[in-house]
Amino acid sequence: MIHSMHALVVESLGATPTWGVVDRPEPGAGQVRIKVKAAALNFADTLMIDGTYQETPPCPFVPGMEVCGLVDAVGEESGRFRTGERIASFCGHGGLAEFVVVSEDRCFPVPDTMDDITAAAFPIAYGTSHLALTRRARLAAGETLVVLGAAGGVGLTAVEIGKALGARVVAVARGEAKREAALRAGADVAIDADTPDLRGALKTEGRIDVVYDPVGGAAGEAALRALAPEGRYIIIGFASGDLPSLRPNHLLVKNVDVIGFYWGGYRAFAPGVLTDSLAQLTRWHSEGRIRPHTSQVLPMAQANDGLDLLRRREATGKVVLTP
């Protein structure tokens, strides 16, 4: 017997997703089905809907990259989780629905100290900043970290994790409200992204060791040029819609590293890295070292409104949907 469910469906790339009734998926070997209690939105969802994300599935598909919920059913050869257990998942897509089927290795148990909304918003943003700053940028205690887009979903996590690693954090965000959010997250200094001479403003903060850039464009170029010799510039994304201009002669003269980072790629070539990172982050949360910030909690029916908030870069922290 085939059961149905409601889901947000992308019928064609670039079109506004619409709610519809689709078949409820059945878990296969090594998979579980989750009854969704909360789903977090990511800027990558907007790219996937537009067809510009590196892992866009064929249409029609259901967006939604991370969820928290209850295990509703388990497939054959699935032994990690039990029916009724509360888990979170970085599912890739499919989360903006009543149910989603995911591989067990994309899931982790949710501790009692973490509510559904926090758990849904946790894996991608915190996982991205943690691995980017520890494994790739090699951020050390006492160094200075610049975070662009510091009040966004990943930006705030970079601020928190930078402080947890013992760095001095300079946040760059647009407008007073967003700068205040970055300061509350632990930033030592907050600079307005619209500062006419952003490079000059950053250089007044002394030696800049690492730049964390989910924005790109002119801000990325300015921050890159402010880096000290042997600084590291880590590319997270291009929320501005523009790529930064990287001049090889500047990199050469200053011995600067430009580092690419894609969190989802580790699942293919080093899945244990993701598992270990999430385990450490979960411990940090239980110890109170990181405090996730959710910008808006909207009903699932307003998913397109939430996606528009991300497109306009109006969200401070994560946007989460609940049924």
Averaged pLDDT, groups of 10, the chain, 323 residues long: 89 96 95 98 95 93 98 89 95 97 93 94 95 98 98 95 97 96 96 96 97 96 96 94 86 94 92 92 92 92 96 90 95
Tokens for 230, please give them: 């042997």
In a 3-state reduction of DSSP, which class is residue 235?
strand
**CATH of region 4-122+292-322, choose from 3.90.180.10, 1.10.3720.10, 3.40.190.10, 3.40.50.2300:** 3.90.180.10
**CATH of region 127-264, choose from 3.40.50.11540, 3.40.50.720, 3.30.230.10, 3.40.605.10:** 3.40.50.720
Nearest residue to 287 via CA among 81, 113, 58, 95: 113
Nearest residue to 279 via CA among 123, 159, 66: 123
pLDDT for the residue numbered 213: 98
Task: Evaluate whether 4-122+292-322 and 127-264 have a shared fold.
Answer: no
Q: Evaluate whether 316 touches 151 at the Cβ level (below 8 Å).
A: yes
pLDDT for the residue numbered 317: 84
CA distance 202 to 210: 12
Beta bridge partners of 103: 31
pLDDT for the residue numbered 78: 77
Delimit the domains of the chain by residue range: 4-122+292-322, 127-264
pLDDT for the residue numbered 122: 93
pLDDT for the residue numbered 186: 96
